[in-house]
Amino acid sequence: MSEATVEAKSDRLVEWRSEFPTVESTLYFVSHSLGAMPRGVEDGLRSYVQTWKTRGIRAWDEGWFALPTQIGDLVGGIFNAEPGTVSMHENVTSAQAVALSAVDFRPPRNRLVCTAEDFPSVLYLYEGLARRGAEIVRVPARSGRRIEEADVVAAIDERTAVVAVSHVLFRSAQLLDLAPIARRAREAGALTLIDAYQAVGTVPVDVRALGVDLLSGGSIKWLCGGPGAGYLYVSPRVRERLEPALTGWMAHERPFDFDSGPMRRDGRARRFWTGTPAIPAFVAARSGYEIVARIGADAIRDKSLRQTGRMIALADDFGLRVTSPREPSRRGGTVVLDVPNAEAACTALLASDVLLDHRPGVGLRLAPHFYTRDDEVDLVMARVREAVQRAGA
Ligand SMILES: Cc1ncc(COP(=O)(O)O)c(C=O)c1O
């Protein structure tokens, strides 16, 4: 019996495949971009429309109003957030915008420290804060696209209001060690705001152990929750002193009083809501959260490291250049291959049901997830090699 067969036999996580119809009809290696749809989403959305149709306005009291809080607690459980600390938003950008609207960027403490490799959407948001007095300090990559934690730590001082960095960088899949960054930020009196989109669902994250203040993420990727469901964790340590300027009636302690102000904010996660919550998106997100929470981040990570390790070894055998980190402690769930004609190779692979993506400047990105079989890892790498050869011919 081959080694791969032995592994496959002991891989209990493949039992979840039956919950994800798409993984049976494709080679699904794009969960860093769009996780496969859980079967339960169809029932969830059907029940949502049924409720709307039959219960009308009563739906708010019968479940809709409570839903974002329940869903927030569910996703928060995956990263060990205390109940009542996670608010739901449309996406990471809007979640971070709410959080940052609570920060006064006034000298002498007006700096926001981020990295050059953070996701463009949040970098644009930080750029916009410059108009509100923020001084943006972008820590550059040193060699290739690698960010050194020591450089982030060195950029933090008493002028820093917020340290806003990714946990896993989206282009390179580099996993940043947040512990020294969070420690230095605390010492300097700065808030930490972590973009954990590329981490939660594939890398274990524990907000309490890390001691981070704020953490944002979304659902489309590793959590298999579809579009429209971003989340924001705010530690109870800092919650009371944060008063977002980007707010709304749903953040009021008694929204249905329709009080014209001054604003009295809710004491828990609802403090960070804005207007009417996007119920269907949160309904759709629930199945993926439940499955990831049931499997557990540690089991997902163990499997991810094993399969990405195999992909890296095969890439070496095939002469495909790996640019994501090789060390297990430094890599997220994605393998990045810097190949010639990545875009053409990607287009050809997508057309033949091999699902992956590419990013300008780094090449092809491929990711197994808990539903991936070991034989698919070998198969996808063979298909990539073939497509890269063809694209170069
Ligand atoms: C690290 C990271 N942050 C943010 C985003 C996107 O954020 P949003 O939810 O605002 O679209 C992505 C990918 O789409 C990402 O990989």
Q: Whose CA is nearest to atom 7 of ligand 1?
A: 92
CATH of domain 43-294: 3.40.640.10
Backbone φ, ψ for residue 27 (5° rounding): -95, 105
CA 220 → CA 72, 182, 230, 231, 385, distances in Å?
15, 26, 9, 12, 28
**First and final CA of the chain: distance in angstroms?**
37
pLDDT (0 to 100) of residue 4: 47
Give CA angle at 198 (121, 338), nearest 5°: 85
Q: Which residue has the tokens 């409720």?
A: 51
Give the residue, out of 89, 90, 98, 119, with the most ligand 1 atoms within 8 A of its beta carbon, to mutate for a pocket test. 119
Report which ligand 1 atom has the smallest distance to the Cα of 96. Answer: 10
Tell me 109's DSSP state.
B
Give the residue, out of 88, 114, 166, 170, with the most ligand 1 atoms within 8 A of its beta carbon, to mutate for a pocket test. 170
| pLDDT tens track for 134-177 | 999 999 999 889 999 999 999 999 999 999 999 999 999 999 99
Residues with CB under 6 A from ligand 1: 91-93, 119, 121, 166, 170, 195, 197-198, 218, 230
Instruction: Give pLDDT < 50 ranges for the chain.
Output: 1-6
Q: What does the domain layout of the chain look like in residue ranges?
A: 3-30+296-392, 43-294
Sign of the C-alpha dihedral computed for residues 274, 275, 276 and 280 taken in this order: negative
Backbone φ, ψ for residue 36 (5° rounding): -65, 150
| Short-list 163, 164, 113, CA closest to 136 | 113
Q: Whose CA is nearest to atom 5 of ligand 1?
A: 119
Using DSSP's 3-state secondary structure scheme, residue 361 falls into coil
Q: Whose CA is nearest to atom 6 of ligand 1?
A: 92
Give 283 Cα–ligand 1 centroid separation in angstroms: 20
Question: What sections of the chain are H helices per DSSP?
Answer: 3-10, 22-25, 40-55, 67-78, 92-100, 120-129, 149-155, 178-188, 207-210, 236-239, 279-295, 297-318, 342-351, 374-392
Report which ligand 1 atom has the smallest distance to the Cα of 93. Answer: 10
Superfamily of domain 3-30+296-392: Aspartate Aminotransferase, domain 1 (3.90.1150.10)
Question: Strand 335-337 to strand 363-366: parallel, antiparallel, or no bridges (unpaired)?
Answer: antiparallel
Angle between helices 279-295 and 67-78 in degrees, nearest 10: 30
Radius of gyration of the chain from its Cα atoms, rounded to whole angstroms: 22
pLDDT (0 to 100) of residue 361: 87
